[in-house]
Every structure is written in structure tokens, then in C-alpha cells.
Amino acid sequence: MKAKISKIAWLTTFLGLFFLILCVNPSVTMGQINSAAATFLLVVSKQSGPYLMCEEGVKKAIRHGWKGPYKIYTIYLNNDEIDELKEKVERLKPTAAILIGTRAAFFMKELHPSYPWVATFLLKKSIQQLNVKRLLAITMDVPLEKKLNILCMIKNNIRAGLLEPNQKHSVQTKFDEDSCRGRNAYLVVAPYSSSIENALNNILKLSINSFFITPEPEIFSSQEAVTYTLLWGLRNKIAICGLSSGYVKNGALFALEADIPDLGRQAAELMMDYLAGKIKEEKIIKHPRKLVLSLNLRTARRLGVKVPDSVIDMAQIIIR
């Protein structure tokens, strides 16, 4: 009888110590995943179209890729109770966070979290302005080289211009890679002053036949500047590369943009890889892996440009 009691006492002591260790040393840390339910925090800048599409991409990737139980908490920053939201996040103590949009990223920066976080659906300039040591991010910026390659698939003898606020003098560079090889393609970077009208008139004097609207808030933050540029392009028979399908619907020849739901999936996958210990770097900034091509064939006809069938077949959005 005494032997049975001592065995029960020993087992009780062992279990007590085991659970005490679990409580004192929670095991969901960077690079370690256990069977306990993970808590994922989603902070979304706006409760509107593109942001919600990105959010759905995040949730879909976690649903299909996370091995084990989990909970997702979503916070939308479309109200003024920021201090209350900060307190809520601090009480939550999530396993990791995914931030959708610029406002969400800066919101999280102010909290100085110890847990990993991934920012997505924001421009590279905004990522740089975060100025944090540990950062995982998916920028929505599409590399200029990819846009130049599309342009080279459409026409030869390209002189593509773009405006740069910090540029002092015009610089011309030959681009002879991928689709542009042997196509006599040049990129002309010209300075931007305080006026979009003067800047465009000056770059036109450099004999450009194409132009890139870039995600430069100093130049193209207003709808008036974008509209003026699109009309200027049609008036001077300049092929305009826009930032999204909206630009194409309003007269740009084409646009190459990030697939928004996939930005969410890509961010979630990056977060899960980090938690699984597959990523050791403290700072990673990735470009979107899935792109959407929009084409305006009406604009092409107006410019006298024949778009090859191979490019039309690549496009997901076509204005005929």
C-alpha cells in the first residue's frame, strides 16, 4: 500500500514539475514550433478593397501551410482609438504579426515588439523609412527591369524616360538584358523640379518615346499630376507605363503590378518559414513574386504600336 502511495506521489510531483516548466518556459519562439496553438495578429491599415484582398491571401496561406492549431486576431486601423488598440495588442502577446499597409507597419514599429513581424502591401520607400534592425517585408514595388522587359517585347528602339527628385543632371543608360537584348533600348533619368509640367516638357526634349510613372510620392502623389501625365503621353505619342490597371484604363499603354492576394500569401509564407527556423537573416525585403499585366490596345492603336500576340497572351487585363 505504501509503495502504491509513493508511486502516486512521485507521479504527481513529476507532472507538477513538468507543467511548471511549460508555464515558465513557453516553447513558441523564433525557429521553434510546438503543438500549442499559435496566435497570429493581423494589423490592417484600412478595411477596404485591396487591403481586404491582401488579408484574405494571408489567411488562406496560413490555413493551408501552418502545421498545428492556431488563432488569428485581426485589427483594422480605420478609427482613431490607436492607444486602445496598442493596449489590446500588448495584452495579446502574439506568436507573430503580419502588417498590411504602411500605416500598420508604423503602428507596429511604435510597439517595439519582441515577436517577429512581417510587413506587406507597402512601397519600398516606406520600408526604408521604418528604419528598424529586424524586418521581414514584401514590397509591392515591381522592379523597373521587369517593366523595361515588357516594353522591349512591345517595341524596338526604346528611349524610356523617368523623373527622379534627387537627380541633378539627365543620365542615359543602355539596357541590354533579357528581352531588351539587341533592341537598342535606353533608359533616360531626368531631374524633377517643383512642376510636373516643366519636368515633362524638359524630358520630352531628350527625344524619349516612352515614359515610366514611378511610385514617387513627391511627383505623383496627386491625381492631377497623374492625369496630366497620361494626357501628355497621348498628346505627344509617348507610351506610358503606369503603376496599376487603373492607369491603363485611363490611357497608359500597360502596367505591371503586384498580385495583391499573393502579396498576402507571400507574407504569410515568409512568416511561417521564419518561425520554422528556415530563415536566419534578421532583415529580408522581397519583391512580389506574382505580377499582373494590364494592356490598353486602344492606346496602342492611337500610338501606332502593334502589340505582339505573345504579349497579349501574357496580359490578365486587356482594354480593347
* Segment holding 83, helix H or strand E: helix 82-92
* The pLDDT value given to residue 123: 95
pLDDT digits (tens, 9 = 90+) for 103-124: 999 999 999 999 999 999 999 9
> Whole-number mean pLDDT of the chain?
89
The answer to whether residues 273 and 303 belong to one domain is no
**Is the residue at 47 inside a domain?**
yes
Lowest mean pLDDT among 25-29, 98-102, 154-158, 251-255: 25-29
Which residues, at least 6 apart from 243, have a Cβ–Cβ distance to it below 8 Å?
213, 214, 215, 220, 255, 257
The answer to whether residues 150 and 225 belong to one domain is yes
**Is the residue at 188 inside a domain?**
yes
**Is the residue at 3 inside a domain?**
no
The answer to whether residues 78 and 60 belong to one domain is yes
**Is the residue at 7 inside a domain?**
no
**Is the residue at 8 inside a domain?**
no
The answer to whether residues 60 and 108 belong to one domain is yes
Here the CATH number for the domain that contains residue 166 is 3.40.50.2300
**Would the CA dihedral through 104, 105, 111, 115 be positive or negative?**
positive
Cα distance between residue 152 and residue 148, in whole Å: 6
pLDDT digits (tens, 9 = 90+) for 254-269: 999 999 999 999 999 9
* The pLDDT value given to residue 320: 95
What are the start-end ranges of the E strands in the chain? Answer: 38-44, 70-76, 96-100, 117-122, 135-139, 159-164, 171-175, 185-191, 210-212, 239-242, 254-258, 283-286, 291-296, 317-319
**Is the residue at 308 inside a domain?**
yes
Which residue carries 518561425 as its cell?
275
The answer to whether residues 85 and 112 belong to one domain is yes
The answer to whether residues 136 and 197 belong to one domain is no
Backbone angles phi, psi at 167, to 5 degrees: -85, 130
**Are 101 and 55 within 8 A, CB to CB?**
no
Q: Hey, what's the cell of 229? A: 501625365
Q: By residue range, what is the domain housing residue 189? A: 144-257+291-319
Which residue carries 497570429 as its cell?
40
Q: Which of 84, 87, 103, 90 is nearest to 43 (CA)?
A: 103
The answer to whether residues 274 and 136 belong to one domain is yes
* The pLDDT value given to residue 5: 42
Q: What is the pTM of this model?
A: 0.85
**Is the residue at 117 inside a domain?**
yes
Which residue carries 533608359 as its cell?
187
The answer to whether residues 118 and 224 belong to one domain is no
The answer to whether residues 84 and 72 belong to one domain is yes
Which residue carries 537598342 as its cell?
184
The answer to whether residues 178 and 252 belong to one domain is yes
**Is the residue at 10 inside a domain?**
no
The answer to whether residues 249 and 303 belong to one domain is yes
**Number of structural domains found in the chain:** 2
The answer to whether residues 312 and 165 belong to one domain is yes
* The pLDDT value given to residue 30: 40
